[in-house]
Structures are given as structure tokens and as C-alpha cells.
Chains A and B, each alone.
Chain A
Amino acid sequence: MTIGLEDYLVVSMLLFCLGLLGVILRRNILIIYMGLELMLNAANLALVACSRFNNNLDGQVFVFFIITVAAAEVAVGLALIVALYRKRQTAHVEDLTSLKN
């Protein structure tokens, strides 16, 4: 049995759904953040798989950029979470509803 493009895409989709569920269901903002990263990497996996399948390097170049941007994003996002925690003494989303109404 050979492993084809479909298999990669199915894994990527599973990863994406796991990430999304994490984002929607988890309460801790840090875990939500990890879910987000998972979604990003699911997309990366799909890109690499398609790139390899098409014998075209464009997708892989794209992935490098996404990883770089994600690294920067993590730095900013974690800093925000730390700042938020210092201010509110909590990292649970149900406590952070001051934008309500």
C-alpha cells in the first residue's frame, strides 16, 4: 500500500479540526493559542504535501514564510497573554468578557 496525497490531506484535515475544536472548546487562553498553532501547522502539512505531489517548490517556500511569521506571532501573542494575566490575574476566556454588548 502506497501513501498518496489523499492520506496527507486527511491527516492535515484531522489536525486542523483538532486545532479548531481546541480553540472553540478549551477555556485556558494558552491552550487556545496552542490550538491555533496546530491549525497553522495543519495548513503547512497540506501545502508541503501538495508541493511534493506537484513537483513544485512554491508551496514549500510558502511554508517557510508561514513558519517565520508564526514564530513572530507567537512572540507577540505570548507577550500579550502575559500582559493580560498580569493585569487580570486570570487566563480563562470566560473571565475576559469586557467587550460584552
Chain B
Amino acid sequence: MKLEALPWLILFLPLLAAAVITLFTRHKRNLSAGISIGAVVTGFGLSLIFVKLSSWQPNPPETAVTWLALGDFKVDLGLRFDPLSLLMLLIVTGVASAIHIYSWGYMRDDRGFSRYFACLSLFTFSMLGIVLANNFIELFIFWELVGVSSYLLIGFWFERPAAADAGKKAFLTNRLGDFGFLLGILTVWSTLRSLNFADLRETLAAHPQALGPLATVAGLLIFCGAMGKSAQFPLHVWLPDAMEGPTPVSALIHAATMVAAGVYMLCRVFFLLDIPGSHALEVISWVGGITAMLSAVIAVQQNDIKRILAYSTLSQLGYMVMGVGLGGPTQAMFHLTTHAFFKALLFLGAGSIILALHHEQDIWKMGGLRQKMPTTFWTFLVGTLALAGIPPLSGFYSKDVILALAAEQHAYGRFVLGAAVAVLTAFYMFRLVFVVFFSAPRSESPGHARESPAVITWPLKALAVFSIVAGFIGVENLYRSQFGAVGTERAVTTTQQIAAPFVEAPLAAGFGILAAAIGMLAAYSIYAKAAADPLPEKLGALSRAMRNRFYFDEFYEATFIRFHDLLAAVAAWIDRWIIGGLVTFTHGTTELTGRALRLLQTGNLQAYAFLFAFGVALVLFLVLR
């Protein structure tokens, strides 16, 4: 088999699985799960082989078929294999494999078991499409497919109104961003006459001013797409609500892959943003920084275990976007990679707890789970340490490079922002760990909790290993080969990589560790022995605002949604009375005329004959006169 056929197979296997499950095996639960898991695990295996055999050049040949040709507008269905997409291919199939297997255990008793796996496979297909796409249109198609499958999975328990609403909210918010994204794509097409990434890159390398005054606008419009999908401020409101979906879905879609698609897309088109004269990157980095800060603050006062993790995801996505905005796609992708591992791990750990406590999600009803669920505890702790940025776990390295980048660019405002977010991150994560795993059980159910079965703990262990080592196995160097040597000579051996942050940017590394330590100690002093959260009393109104997510939903409800309702009412009135009136008038006139003419139809044959003869005579008279 030729090597080019392999990625096509990887891409379409999950789609095939989704189709087979939907059409044939809906009532055979284990077969459905087997097909879905088989497809993604095979995909992972094939990805490993393919990646092993690939050349790792920044600009490899593409395989493409023309899908649509309209004049000089041509849309390819093509695949691109540069280091960026190869690594993402591994991450997506790898994390998806772990989560598929985990789902088998987690969703065991659910009625929609087969439907769940069909949706999950559809999602995997769409995500792989985004990763491998070689042009904007293809990317956009898969982008929307991801949106659809995310909608299906968030609203998986559609009997619950909250879940159905959350699905709708996610979809609509994403559409808002995608509208900007589409406009951005059209802007690029109308100025550069091409949508292929490689072509665009060449054009812009040859003529950096090709976009002219539209450079900033195009960059920001494209960023709108990322803003929706990666849930950046002010479109961040959908992600916390998306936690209504099953926990493995939250882990796969709303932590590791789909929300990372926005960041991935920004890195993919980084050459479009990084143009002299364009201010897009500056805006992007500030939006990222604000999102990171805002959601970290909100996370401090959330009490639902999944919502804490959701806000933490938002905050880390803000970090990545800030990294891109500071001119460091390498750093952003590095953080994306490590984050995919440890955030998926944290979500799956949370899922394990939720399952053991019979769908209890309030952390103030947990406690003392350290002895009851040792595997979950240790893996969760690994994820927490990685997220908080404790060396030598992966999160430390990826967070460090972003902080170092900010310092290197002399963007001290954003450096301080990043460091403050790091403090808050460590604080809310250890708050979570102390409350959930230490001290005494706060309600009945944690006392009876038991460790989850092997099908759930094994994915946890696998992800924990990656969360530990992903920082120093050369991931960053691979991304660096894609985006060119931005920095200095990089570390090569593992030991060098472990020590790299301290050698290259001791300031950033120092601040990073200091921030994590401060957050951790603060969390320990407040929450190690707490029976209830002491912060609401101390902070008063601020805490209430944090718990209520700074009233963003209420604000949107009162302004945008109200305004939209008004607009809809006006449109409905016009439709009903003006357009509808016109239609009623037309059909009314026709009917009246018809009723009048019906009187002429007597049914008498001879009357017809007489009229006929009379008519002929009249015509003859008029003609021959």
C-alpha cells in the first residue's frame, strides 16, 4: 500500500464507524462500542506508523483531489503533513483512543450507548479533518462538522432541558464566531485569490504587503472563528454550560481537542497574522490574556467539579491564544499538546469520581476520597501538578515558554497577567484537590465510594504518564521545526530539555515556580481543614460575582438576547401583516373573481352552443365588416 493512502484511511475510518453504527448496529451495544473503539485505535496505530515513516519537513508534498472547480475558484479536498498536523494527528487519535476506551466503562448503563459512540466517531472524523486540511474551505467544512458533533454530544441527554439548552447555546455562540471566520476567509480569497495554505504562505512570503490595508481586518476576522471555537472572551460563555454533556465528552471535546482547534487554526495560518503592519496579533494576545485572567478568577469560586475544570480550560486556552498573539505559535502548540494530556486526565479523573459518587458533582459534598480511590487520586494529583506548573511535569515547561516569550518581547503587562493566572491556577486546582480528596467525607456518598473498574483507570494511567513526560521528550523542537528557528539553539538530549527553562529563561522559570508555590500554599492554608468554603464570607460581593460568573450570561440575556427578540418580533409582524397581507390579497382577489365567473356556468348544453354561435357570429361580423 502506498504511504499516501494511509492518512485517508485514518481520516475516514471513524466516519465509516459512525455510519455503520447508525445504520446497522444501533441495538447491539457492545458491537457498536467495539466498532467505534476499533476505528479510533486502529487510526492511532496507523498514525504512529505514518508519522514514523514521514519526512517531518515544514513543507511536504500534499495529496489532494479537486472537489469543486468554478472558473478560477478551485476547492481541493487535500491533506497536509507538516510537523504541525502530524503531531496533532497523534494527539487527537491518541487522546481520543484513551477516551473512547474510558467511555465504554463510563457510559455502560446509558440507554443511548450506540448513539453516543456514533457521535463520538463522527466527532473524531471531523477533528481529524481540521487537523489535516490543506485549505481554508476544507478547514471550514470540518470546522462546522465539529460544531455539529459537539452540539449532538453536549445535548446527548436531551431529555434534560439544561443539556438541550447548553447544546443550542454552544452551537449558536460558535456560529457567531464562524460568521466572522467566513468573512475572513472571503477577505483572504478576494485579495489573494487563493485559499490553499501553502500557496498563501508563499505569496505572503514573497509580498508581505499583498493584503494591504486589510491585513489587520482579515487577521481579526479569522480570529473570530478561533474566538468562538476556543471560547475566548467575549464568546466564552458556551464552554462552562457545555459541561452538561457526558464527562468523557467534556474531556475529549471541551478540553483536549475541539476547543484546541481554534488555537491550532491560528497557528496554521500564523503567516497570515504575522505580517508587518498588522495589529491583529496584539489584539489576539490581549484577548487571550483577559480570557485567562477572567476565567481563572471565576474558577476560584465555582463548586461544581466539572465547572472548575471548564473554567480552568478556558483560562489555559487564553494562555495559548496569548502565546500565539505574542508571536509564538511554537509555544502555543506546545502548551496545547501538554494541556490536551493533563486536562483530559483531569476530566477523566473527575468522571471517575462522579461515577463513584452516583453523579454527585458538588465538591462540598465530597471529601476523603484519597483512601477510597487511590488510582484516581494519584493520577488526578499528577494532572493537578502538571496544570499548576510544578517541574518536571509537562505543564511547567509549556507554561514557562509562554511566560519566557512574554518577557522576551518585553510585554511585561502580559507577563504579569500570565504569572497572576499561574497563581490562581495553582490555587483553585489545589482547592479542588484538598476539598475532594482530603479531610473527612462531607456527605453520605463519599463514604461508600469505590475505585472505578480497570477500563476507567487504565486510560487515566496512560494519560498520567504523558502528562509527566510530555514536557521533555522533544515535542517543542518538532513544533519549532515547523515555525522556523525563532529562538536560540535548542536543547537536544532529555537532560538538557529538563534543565532548559532554568538555563534559558531563569526569570520566567523562577516566577512560574514561585506562582505555583504561592497558589498551592494559599490553597493549603485556607482549604486543608475547611468544612465549608470560607471565601464567600471574606470576599462578600466579589465572591458572589465570581460564583455568578461576573453576570455575563445575565448581561447577554438583558442586551443581545433582548435586542434579538425585539428584532424577531418586528420581523414576525412584518411577515404576518405586510408580506402575509399581500399573499392574502392575491388569493382573495382570485377567489372572488372565480366565484363571480362560476355563475356563468349554467350546465345547459344549449346555452353554451348559443353563446358559442353568437361569439362566432360576432367575430365574423367584426372581421368581415
Contacts and interface: CB of A to CB of B under 8 A. Distances in A.
Interface of A: 20, 23-25, 32, 93-94, 96-101
A87 B523 CA distance: 100
Task: List the 3 closest pairs (A to B, CB-CB), nearest first.
Answer: A100-B603, A97-B603, A99-B603
Greatest chain A CB density within 10 A among B604, B605, B613 is at B605
Interface string B592-625: 0000001101111110011001000000000000
Interface residues of B, number: 11
A100 B606 CA distance: 13
A96 B605 contact: yes
B143 to A, nearest CB: 61
Contacts of A94: 604
A28 to B, nearest CB: 11
A29 B601 CA distance: 20
Nearest to A36: B609
A23 B602 contact: no
Contacts of A97: 602-604
Nearest to B595: A101
Interface of B: 598-599, 601-606, 609-610, 613
Contacts of A24: 606, 609-610, 613
Nearest to B617: A20
Contacts of A99: 601, 603
A27 B601 CA distance: 19
A98 B605 CA distance: 11
A100 B601 contact: yes
A27 B326 CA distance: 101
B624 to A, nearest CB: 14
Contacts of B603: 96-101
A25 B601 contact: no
Contacts of A20: 613
Greatest chain B CB density within 10 A among A24, A32, A97, A101 is at A24
Contact of B601 (A23, A32, A93, A101): A101
A52 B148 CA distance: 87
A93 B602 contact: no
A32 B598 CA distance: 26
A4 to B, nearest CB: 21
A38 to B, nearest CB: 14
B572 to A, nearest CB: 40
B598 A23 contact: no
22 contacts: A20-B613, A23-B606, A23-B609, A24-B606, A24-B609, A24-B610, A24-B613, A25-B606, A32-B606, A93-B604, A93-B606, A96-B603, A96-B605, A97-B603, A97-B604, A98-B603, A99-B601, A99-B603, A100-B602, A100-B603, A101-B601, A101-B603
B605 to A, nearest CB: 5
Nearest to B608: A99
Nearest to A99: B603
Contacts of A101: 598-599, 601, 603
A101 B604 CA distance: 10
A32 B605 CA distance: 10
A15 to B, nearest CB: 15
Contacts of B601: 99-101
B595 to A, nearest CB: 10
Contacts of A96: 603, 605
B452 to A, nearest CB: 79
A16 to B, nearest CB: 10
A39 B283 CA distance: 94
A24 B606 CA distance: 5
A32 B609 CA distance: 11
B422 to A, nearest CB: 87
Contacts of B609: 23-24
Contacts of A25: 606
Contacts of B604: 93-94, 97, 100
Nearest to A17: B613
A89 B211 CA distance: 89
A101 B600 CA distance: 8
Nearest to B598: A101
A96 B598 CA distance: 18
B608 to A, nearest CB: 9
B55 to A, nearest CB: 84
B528 to A, nearest CB: 93
A52 B613 CA distance: 29
A43 to B, nearest CB: 13
Contacts of A100: 601-604
Nearest to B599: A101
Nearest to B600: A101
B239 to A, nearest CB: 67
Contacts of B613: 20, 24
Contact of A93 (B598, B599, B605): B605
A98 B604 CA distance: 9
A20 B610 CA distance: 9
A100 B607 CA distance: 12
A25 B603 CA distance: 15
Contacts of A98: 603
A24 B604 CA distance: 10
A94 B603 CA distance: 9
A20 B615 CA distance: 13
A97 B604 CA distance: 6
Nearest to A94: B604
A20 to B, nearest CB: 6
Contacts of B605: 32, 93, 96
B601 to A, nearest CB: 6
Nearest to B613: A20
Nearest to A27: B606
Contacts of B599: 101
Contacts of B598: 101
A34 B605 CA distance: 15
A93 B610 CA distance: 14
A23 B608 CA distance: 11
A100 B601 CA distance: 6
A18 to B, nearest CB: 13
Given A32-B605, A93-B604, 16 more contacts: A20-B613, A23-B606, A23-B609, A25-B606, A32-B606, A93-B605, A93-B606, A97-B602, A98-B603, A99-B601, A99-B603, A100-B602, A100-B603, A101-B598, A101-B599, A101-B601
A98 B598 CA distance: 14
Contacts of B602: 97, 100
